[in-house]
Amino acid sequence: MPRAWSDREKGLIRDAMRSEGLKLFEKFGLRKTTVDEISKAARISKGAFYFFYQSKEELFFDIMESLESKYKGEIYGSIIPPGRFTREGFKNFFRKLIAILVEVPIFKGINPEDYEYLKRKIPEETLNRHIDRDFGEMETLFSSWMEQGFIRTIDIKALSGVLLSLFYLSMHREDIGAIDFSASEELIIDMLSGYLVIGE
């Protein structure tokens, strides 16, 4: 049983686990990284690891959520500043979402098999809470744009399905080399902006 830590010590240990875990997950991937490797890199015992997380998958998910929160401000704030909604800004919103998925190493490294594996390992309520929060935030954002007359009023769930299809398209971009996924993504973004955005 780990000794009692102060809140400050717990924060420092958790930060070390996230930092070292991120490096290892980026280098070896989710399934090949072990709890022993993370514990050693973070300079804690294996028992201490399980004091903070039930599994390496739970740590991985926590890291992903932290990074997601970090990028949300950039995507929601700087791509389409308040009161300056443009068709190009709307396109950049989607381009940035895709760029994060295909350029940030820990997101880029997730393939369909890893995604299904993670869904099996993470508690269902944790996964559902994450999905509900993501779609809730997106619904709030798009509803606001609709109310302000920036985009056409459509069914939010249908729009969420389109966004999810973009996510899956990005995840499968390496599966079929004959398809130019970048061109496909840009075409979808172009069609979305042309249909949704009301003037400039």
- Check whether residue 49 and residue 59 sit in a common domain: no
Dihedral of alpha carbons 79, 82, 84, 88, sign:
positive
CA atoms within 13 A on the CB side of 143: 8
Rounded distance, CA 5 to CA 154, Å?
A: 51
167, 111: one domain: yes
Q: Kindly state whether residues 116 and 34 are assigned to the same domain.
A: no
pTM of the model: 0.81
Question: How many domains are contained in the chain?
Answer: 2
How would you write the pLDDT of the chain (200 residues) with one tens digit per residue?
456 788 899 999 999 999 999 999 999 999 999 999 999 999 999 999 999 999 999 999 999 989 888 887 777 766 676 677 888 888 888 888 888 877 888 888 887 788 889 889 998 888 888 888 888 888 888 898 899 889 999 998 888 888 777 777 777 766 656 567 778 888 888 999 999 998 76
171 and 111 in contact (C-beta within 8 Å)?
A: yes
User: Of 25, 53, 81, which marks where a domain is finished?
Assistant: 53
Domain interval for residue 46? 1-53
What is the per-residue pLDDT for 28? 93
| Residue linked to tokens 């997601």 | 68
Same domain, 67 and 133: yes
Smallest Cα–Cα separation from 61: which of 23, 30, 37? Answer: 30
3-state SS assignment for residue 174: coil
Euclidean distance between CA atoms 173 and 43, whole angstroms: 37
CATH assignment at residue 75: 1.10.357
User: Are 35 and 12 within one domain?
Assistant: yes
Return d(Cα 26, Cα 191) in angstroms, integer.
34
Same domain, 166 and 177: yes
| Beta bridge mates, 197 | 151
